[in-house]
Structure 1
Amino acid sequence: MNKPVTPEELQYDNYGPLYAARKKVYPQSVSGTFRRIKWALMAVCLGVYYLLPFVRWNRGLGAPDQAVLIDFPNRRFYFFFIELWPQEVYYFTGLLILAAVILFLMNSIGGRIWCGYLCPQTVWTDLFYAVERLVEGDRRERMKKDAAAHKWTAKRICEVVLKHSIWLMIAWWTGGAWVLYFSDAPTLVKDLPTFQAPLLAYVWIGILTTTTYLLAGYMREQVCVYMCPWPRIQASLTDEWALNVTYRYDRGEKRCSVKKAAELRALGEHAGDCVDCNQCVAVCPTGIDIRNGPQLECIQCGLCIDACDTVMKKIGRPTGLIGYDNDINIHLRQEGNAPIYRIVRPRTMVYSAVIALVGGIMLYALATRSLLDINVLHDRNPVAIKLSDGSIRNAYTVRLLNKSGFDRVIAFDIDGPVNAAVHVVGADSVTPDRPEIVIPRDTTTELRLLVTAPEETNPEKSIPVNFHVTDIGLGVVASATDNFVAP
């Protein structure tokens, strides 16, 4: 029989903590190909995010001239030459599908390259790290200063205040840039310092300033390791051919110093290229040792590749001890065979096909979308009435959408009931049999429409009726279908 566990044995001292305390990471600066790629992508991403609200786009008189604008009061989304209405929310569904499948494709090719290069958490954390190094120094200096945290000199206080001030400025402008996408950017920039901007703008700036400061300044790698669900999802989507940042243990083991490796090789014994310098660990933004194999914490940023290549060049050994690779190629090299890279395979082809299909459908829908639309709703009570002369009248609520930047003169036509007459309530027309009205630009106009037809020529209980509105100037036609019913 198992011995029962006493309360004393369940104490903290016997079993340890329920979770591991965070070990602060001090990433060292590094130079190389992947670091330059990260700098370039950071500049592009931050440049687009901060400056895009100030880009202008002429849409005509009276229309907003901000290139990218989410106009909640007028329920519009503007993206350069594209203007989307609430009825066209399916475009956003398509964008979400595209984003998800592109993420899957990136994962099947290069693992978590999204996390390592393009994720907002990575981009802003990189920026905060750059500020930290600029103010406090590189890895060793920061570790030394934190170890002597009890020795607060005037210089140290100035460094800490300067670092956090710059962090807060970046975080504040991050929140400020976000709200600029929801209002005219130059106007809002002028209104914010004078407290004339809407209260909601200050609320969102405060929220995003706080979250950016905390996530990029303090939580950093913890967001990637504990908060983000993508590492867990990515692990289930990857396959054996995906290229991940990999330590090529077939070449690196066994590890020993340069001098020891030379002695072993002189004796005809095997020695690996890894000199156990720990530079790959020192530069890692999540503080892991890539030589321990694939790990949840690895964001595939490639900085360990740059660090290792730098060391290999210094000691005169081939670069590539750490690189984007997979276990299949490691085993092939161990067997003396050439590595195989299968970027194009069924998985990537399916993802690419889905991206092309969804993207093509969206482009076709955008290219052929009509800027004139009509929606018809039949009256429910009464459904129909019989007039004194014996004819039947049905009433409809018609909603016309003019999505263009100019007024339209449109004419009503119907197909279905024989000898039917159309009348727009409250609108006089010079052509009574074909009413014409003006629809203002960029608006939704709601009308009451009466359709009257003789009973003797329309004996059916229900007749399909097609409503057509035609732009007199451009000839553009929009249609909708309903029913013409008897009492």
Structure 2
Amino acid sequence: MNNPDPLGLDWTNLSAPPPPEGAPPEVPQKFFEKRKAVHPQRIDGPFRRFKWLVMLVTLGIYYVTPWIRWDRGPYAPDQAVLVDLAHRRFYMFGIEIWPHEFYFVAGLLIMAGIGLFLVTSAVGRAWCGYSCPQTVWTDVFQHVDRFVDGDRNARMRLDKAPWGPSKIARRAFKWTIYLVISFWTGGAWIMYFADAPTLTADFWTGQAAPVAYITVAILTATTFVLGGFMREQVCIYMCPWPRIQAAMLDEKSLLVTYKDWRGEPRGSVKKSAKNPDNFGDCIDCNQCVAVCPTGIDIREGPQIGCITCALCIDACDRVMKEVGRPRGLIDYATLEDCTREAAGETPRPVWQTLLRPRTLVYFSIWAGIGLGLMFALGTRSRTDLTVAADRNPPFMLMSDGSPRNAFTLKLRNMQNRQRRMEVSLSGLPGGVVWNDRMARTDAARSMTLTVAADSTQALRTYVLAPPGTAPQVFAFVLRSLDAEGESARSETRFAAPGEAR
């Protein structure tokens, strides 16, 4: 058969040539590693106790906060923290945020982001190790594992054991506890969006909105799966934050570090007793690996699986104490100080490590935003006004040639009591104003009305100017007629014959 290719290449056989005789078979490339079950061992120490404290505080805040009451008067809800989507309000104790004040929420979110940068710059992945919701709920489920199945060795034996009545009963009991905790987690979340006692009663009597049941079901399922089964896989594979943090760390960041110049070469206590000069302090007991919630070996150096929980420090310090060696073989340290210590120099004090330019810049930005929000919150007016002019028609000519414009005013009273307010005109000489609740004959330069507590009142308003008035800019001024005397001003345009198109 003739080859039609102009280059003279034979395209009839596209298979790769066979490997030479005696060559080893080609091993297929694996793109993932099969998960190895992690069974952290129980440990006690300063960092473990600190994790207990953080876990209790964070879970206490999450579960208890919706039930705290806060008296705001008869016109506002008495739940201390409430995201009231129906009325478009956000309440946090004595603070009430309206939709047009969403910049406060945006500022808090920016502070949270910069706060994460600050913590990472100062102490590495401490957020991941102590306060991240995935870490907190995983820790809770791991304590359930210990309660039901026993400590590390007992859990490993149970995992390898064949399925039988005893194993099925233990698994069913443990997963039931998982499910109860997950359900409480989902149930607590929806309490932030409605009055907690009322929503609880409606939920259990089947009268709650469908979205409440859907939300609880989704959060129950995600908590059950992510906290009960996936655990460290979420931190290592799913969460983007470790990758972001890796770009934010440098040689001056505090990390959980294994001091290999002191620990290597490793040897048991007996070996090092016979040849003390040939072995380091690490006795290769693997306790640091056994207590790690993500199952990594910190002795292999910094890695993405390390969440900086420091439980390996507790384990190593305990072992060092038992064998009569100084603590700190695994410790919080910067890579810069590790190099200095390995050379026989004295590492810097921790306060010098924390008070470095990057950390101070992050703190200054974080504190500046916080102070700005506090100042804005303390000086904000509880009165507000927005104006929308009619577009079609832009004006009407009365029988005497006077142009009349129509506007929709929204008067906001953000106090928990009704208030008398005055709406007046600023500019527009000779102009008068009235609303659709008044007679045309009562039109004047200002009008007085009552605005209900904690509400926005829409008001259809008309402005009339003398004949021959040219198009111009003027303003509505809203002033509260009480001791506060707060005011708001909104500029708009008066349309008249001769308006440019």
Report the TM range for the smaller structure's normalisation: over 0.9
1:88-115, Cα deviation, whole Å (9 max, x unpaired): 2222211111111000000001111000
* 2:214 paired residue number: 203
Q: 2:494: which partner in 1?
A: 484
Tell me the equivalent position of 2:237. Answer: 226
Partner in structure 2 of residue 304 of structure 1: 312
Letter in 2 for 1:132: D
Residue 453 (structure 1) shift = 2.2
User: Partners in 1 of 2:110 and 2:159 — Cα distance?
Assistant: 45
Aligned to 2:345: 337
Question: 1:415 Cα deviation (Å)?
Answer: 1.3
Listed as ranges, the matches of 1:393-412 within 5 Å are: 393-412=404-423
- Please give the residue correspondences for 1:263-274 in structure 2 after superposition, counting only pairs within 5 Å: 263-265=274-276, 269-274=277-282
Could you tell me how far apart the structure 2 residues matched to 1:404 and 1:20 are?
60
Q: 1:287-326 alignment to 2 at 5 Å?
A: 287-326=295-334
Gaps of 5+ in 2: 1-13
Q: Distance in 2 between matches of 1:431 and 1:393?
A: 12
Instruction: Confirm whether residue 117 of structure 1 aligns to residue 126 of structure 2.
Output: no
Q: Report Cα offsets for 1:104-148 as digits up to 9, x if no partner.
A: 000001111000000000000000000110110000001011111
Q: Residue 425 of structure 2 contacts residue 446 of structure 2 at CA under 8 Å; is this kept in 1?
A: no
Q: Gaps (5+ residues) in structure 1?
A: none
- Partner Cα separation in structure 1 for residue 325 and residue 306 of structure 2: 25
Label 1:317 to 1:432 Cα distance change in 2 as closer, same or farther (>3 A). same
Please give the residue correspondences for 1:297-446 in structure 2 after superposition, counting only pairs within 5 Å.
297-340=305-348, 341-427=352-438, 432-446=444-458
Query: What is the aligned counterpart of 1:450 among 462, 468, 474?
Result: 462
How far does residue 13 in structure 1 lie from its aligned partner after superposition? 7.4
Question: CA, structure 1 residues 197+355, in 2 after alignment: closer, same or farther (shift >3 Å)?
Answer: same
Distance in 1, matches of 2:131 and 2:223, equals 16
1:264 Cα deviation after fit:
2.2
Give CA-to-partner distance per residue, 1:240-268, whole Å, 9 cap, x none. 10001100112111211122222223xxx
Aligned mates of 1:90, 1:401 — CA distance in 2: 17
Alignment-mate amino acid for residue 397 of structure 1? T
Say if 2:184 is the partner of 1:173: yes
CA distances 1:3-43 after superposition (whole Å, capped 9, x unpaired): 9746999xx97214331111111111100000000001000
User: Please, which of 71, 75, 78 is the counterpart of residue 65 of structure 1?
Assistant: 78
3-state DSSP of counterpart to 1:423: strand
Checking the alignment, whether the CA contact within 8 Å between 1:167 and 1:213 is kept in structure 2 is: yes
Match of 1:55 in 2: 68
Instruction: Indicate the SS of the match to 1:78.
Output: strand
- Amino acid in structure 2 at the alignment position of 1:371: R
Does residue 1:161 correspond to 2:172, yes or no?
yes
In 1: Cα distance, 2:71 partner to 2:319 partner? 54
The 1-side partners of 2:362 and 2:343 are apart by: 32
1:31 to 21, 24, 44: 44
Find the residue that maps to 1:465 and give its secondary structure: strand
Instruction: Give me the whole-angstrom Cα distance separating, in 2, the residues matched to 1:196 and 1:384.
Output: 50
Residue 421 of structure 1 contacts residue 433 of structure 1 at CA under 8 Å; is this kept in 2? yes
Is the CA contact 2:42–2:152 (under 8 Å) kept in the aligned structure 1?
yes
What displacement does 1:87 show? 1.6
The verdict on how the C-alpha distance between 1:327 and 1:422 changes in structure 2, with shifts beyond 3 A counting, is same
Q: Retained in 2: the 8 A contact 1:405–1:442?
A: yes
Q: 1:388 to 1:193 in 2, by over 3 A?
A: closer
TM norm structure 2: 0.91
1:470 and 1:478 in contact (8 A); partners too: yes
- CA deviations on 1:379-402 (whole Å, 9 max, x unpaired) are 222223333333332222211111
Q: Compute the displacement of 1:446 (Å).
A: 1.2
Which residue number in structure 2 is paired with residue 462 of structure 1? 471
* TM-superposed deviation, 1:323: 0.9
Provide the rounded CA distance (Å) in 1 between the counterparts of 2:421 and 2:69: 32
**Is the counterpart of residue 15 in structure 1 residue 28 in structure 2?**
yes
Q: Which sits farther off after the overlay, 30-39 or 415-424? A: 415-424
Q: Deviations over 1:254-303 (max 9, x none)?
A: 211122222223xxx35311111000000011111000000011100000
Paired residues of 1:427 and 1:437 also in contact (CA < 8 A): no
Q: Deviations over 1:185-239 (max 9, x none)?
A: 1122222222222222111111111110000110000000000000101011112
What percentage of aligned pairs have identical amino acids? 48
Q: Which residue number corresponds to residue 213 of structure 1? A: 224
Q: Distance in 2 between matches of 1:17 and 1:330?
A: 36
Gap change, CA 1:149 and 1:100, over 3 Å in 2: same
User: Aligned partner of 1:367: which letter?
Assistant: G
Paired with 2:26 and 2:45, the residues of 1 have a C-alpha distance of: 46
Q: Which residue identity does 1:439 align to in structure 2?
A: V
Which secondary structure state, in structure 2, belongs to the residue aligned with residue 469 of structure 1? strand
Where 1:246 maps in the other structure, the secondary structure is: strand
Distance 2:472 2:210 in 1: 54
Normalising by structure 1, we get a TM-score of 0.93
The CA distance in 1 between the partners of 2:162 and 2:187, in whole Å, is 33
